[in-house]
Structure 1
Amino acid sequence: MMNTLDTRVHIGRGLYIKNPVMTASGTYGYGLEYEDFVELQRLGGIMVKGTTLHPRQGNPYPRMAETPAGMLNAVGLQNKGVDYFCEHIYPSIKDYDTAMIVNVSGSQVEDYIATAERINALERIPAIELNISCPNVKEGGMAFGVTCAGAASVVRAVRAVYDKTLIVKLSPNVTDITEIARAVEAEGADAVSMINTLLGMAIDAERRRPVLSTVTGGLSGPAVKPIALRMVWQTAQAIKLPIIGMGGIATTSDAIEFLLAGASAIEVGTYNFVDPTATVKIVDGIEDYMRRHGFSSVNDLVGALQLPSKA
């Protein structure tokens, strides 16, 4: 019987996290909000909420809607801006014994550059997650992530000013996500995270009106998991970078499926609203799975999917 399990995973540029379980930006605040429910130091990493150069009010209400197998959101990256983060949030989270990673977004390339430069100066933030895939903002966001040229331009510019681990969050609202992944790999990304939400909508039939103020929003939850798995698997065949997989992860089994498909780590998002302790349950569950199946290192699970034999 194995006494020790190696659950560390490499995210890129010297960043190792203690286990592959992370939280998805926009679903976990700054981590502080979950302290009463979770021992945050048990997590591999926390992706804090989206941060922009200037404060954003977000979209008008209503901006969230429940769906039969998930939820739609159109929050619109509401936050108080990077300067507020540096001055007021960072001092409160910098001493957590887990990787605190800032999700960075912008309306134009210059915004991404300026925000990344400010975050780069924070000693205890080892990485940023570059959000080029948010479908809920009128400018920037997904606009950069749906073409190879757009994605490449942002990553190239940020790479020039940011010298820590650069994770790029990819949009599923594209014809071929592997092309975008190759483009950001070529421009110096250290890892990719995927998938962001799928563009969807909800209608109030009685009122004959859209449910969301923005008409469309980002779909997350169990409904997107099969699509996310397929995209992670395809991307793992196309690039050599570590992949952080997400999309409908609620259980240990869900997380293991993403690892088998080629993800080195995972992010739990929407299900945090259902069960605030889901992440630590998955940490324990992965270790139990490793013991039961004889894996000494979690890295041996990555891409270990056994495909059917060809006829």
Structure 2
Amino acid sequence: MVNTSVNIGGGITLKNPILTASGTFGYGQEFAPFENLNALGGFIVKGTTLHPRQGNSYPRMAETPAGMLNCVGLQNKGIDYLIEHILPEISHYDTEVLVNVSGSTIDDYVACAERLNDHPKVRAIELNISCPNVKEGGMSFGVHSKSAYEVVSAVRRAYKGHLMVKLSPNVTDITEIARAAEEAGADSLSLINTLLGMAIDIKTRKPKLSTITGGLSGPAVKPIAVRMVWQVAQAVSIPVIGLGGIACLEDVIEFLLAGATAVQVGTYNFVEPDIASRLVHELSAYLTDHDILDVQSLIGALR
């Protein structure tokens, strides 16, 4: 038997390093007909805000040659709806359930995170610091180390559980943001979020997204994601969770070697709805076939 468990800090050990990414997996139960959710290390529910959000106008998705653009805009029914109606439906799964928390202001982030304190199933949140900061002219919290520190430290004071912070790649030096989040009290870091991109319909000469620009995800971003995970893993002492373009086991191993303790499967859930549980099986088989007794021996093992 091989050991596939990994410790992501803050008192949480995953049965294996395969998670599913927020925004691509709904609330989990949508994938239950295709996935063995109990086999996963965990899954992260879609971005949740303090109050309901309608999201952006359509069109808000566009295919690209190696991925997709989206500008969904955090459409959700709010944290109270999640707690009252969604979490009771998914709490029976034998895996970690994390909630992606988003907001427009620091107060929003704090209030949303506080609602999840002491929930019997949710032991961790993923703080999305790539959302618009309305009070600061629409700039994102996650693109400056000062604002990143402020929001993470405020949530850290309010939230008792594991605090994972999701970083934006749309920065000049992601290690500065990572160190600020660590200093502010993050237990782990997840990266990368989507890259800012754009597509134009040459027939209409109009943008393919209602917001003109949107987030690029999928296999096209993986080399950038691996590079940033490698940089951040060397810059901080807390666990790093890698995501961006994972489509096969080789991608998972690549992120682990770069220094990721765990990974999140995102866009490829739309291509192969059972990919995450399949990767769990393939990872165990890979370790057995290569006489690797513990998956942790792969983490940061780049030569």
TM-score when scaled to structure 2? 0.97
Q: Kindly indicate whether residue 160 of structure 2 is the aligned counterpart of residue 163 of structure 1.
A: yes
Q: Secondary structure of 2:220's match?
A: helix
Tell me, yes or no, if structure 1 residue 251 matches structure 2 residue 274. no
Please state how far the C-alpha of 1:90 moved relative to its aligned partner.
1.0
How far did residue 40 of structure 1 move?
0.4
Q: Kindly indicate whether residue 69 of structure 2 is the aligned counterpart of residue 75 of structure 1.
A: no
> 3-state DSSP class of the match of 1:100?
strand
SS at match of 2:238: coil
Find the partner of 1:192 among 189, 210, 213: 189
What is the SS of the residue equivalent to 1:88? helix
Contact 2:70 / 2:216 at 8 angstroms: preserved in 1?
Answer: yes
Task: Give the SS at the match of 2:7.
Answer: strand
CA distance, structure 1, for counterparts of residue 120 and residue 274 of structure 2: 29
Aligned residue in 1 for 2:109: 112
Question: Is the contact made by 2:105 and 2:133 (CA closer than 8 Å) also made in structure 1?
Answer: no
Percent identity for Structure 1 against Structure 2: 62
User: Could you say what the CA RMSD is over the residues aligned between the two structures, in angstroms?
Assistant: 1.2
Contact 2:221 2:244 (8 Å CA) reproduced: yes
**Counterpart selection for 1:212 from 209, 212, 215:** 209
Encode CA deviations 1:189-231: one digit per residue, 9 max, x unaligned: 0000000000000001111110100000000001000000000
Matched, 1:279 2:276: yes
SS at the partner of 1:151? helix
1: CA distance between counterparts of 2:133 and 2:117? Answer: 27
Amino acid across the alignment from 1:169: K
More deviation, 193-202/283-292: 283-292
Distance in 1 between the 2:238 and 2:58 partners? 38
CA contact (8 A) 1:271 1:278 kept: yes
Aligned residues: 301
C-alpha distance in 1 between matches for 2:171 and 2:276: 29
Q: Is the 8 A contact 1:53 1:106 kept in 2?
A: yes
For residue 294 of structure 1, give the secondary structure of its aligned residue in structure 2.
Answer: coil
1:92 alignment counterpart: 89
Amino acid at match of 2:26: G
Seen in structure 2, the aligned counterparts of structure 1 residues 228 and 150 have a Cα distance that, compared at 3 Å, is same
Partners of 1:221 and 1:248 within 8 A in 2 = yes
Checking the alignment, whether the CA contact within 8 Å between 2:28 and 2:45 is kept in structure 1 is yes
Q: Which residue of 2 aligns with 1:288?
A: 285
Partner residue, 1:309: none
Confirm whether residue 145 of structure 1 aligns to residue 142 of structure 2. Answer: yes
Structure 2: runs of 5+ lacking an equivalent: none
CA shift, 1:138, in A, is: 7.2
Aligned 8 A contact 1:168 1:193 in 2: yes
Once the two structures are superposed, the pairs formed by residues 256-275 of structure 1 within 5 Å of their partners are 256-275=253-272
Q: Deviations over 1:19-56 (max 9, x none)?
A: 00000000000100011011100000100000000000
TM-score (norm 1): 0.95
The DSSP-based 3-state class of the residue aligned with 1:224 is: helix
Q: Mean alpha-carbon deviation: is it higher for 117-126 or for 40-49?
A: 117-126
1:25-36 aligned at under 5 Å gives the runs: 25-36=22-33
Contact 1:142 1:171 in 2 (8 A): no
List gaps (5 residues or longer) in structure 1.
Answer: 307-311
Report what 1:224 is aligned to.
221
SS of the residue corresponding to residue 178 of structure 2 reads helix
Q: 1:90 & 1:264 partners in 2: Cα distance?
A: 26
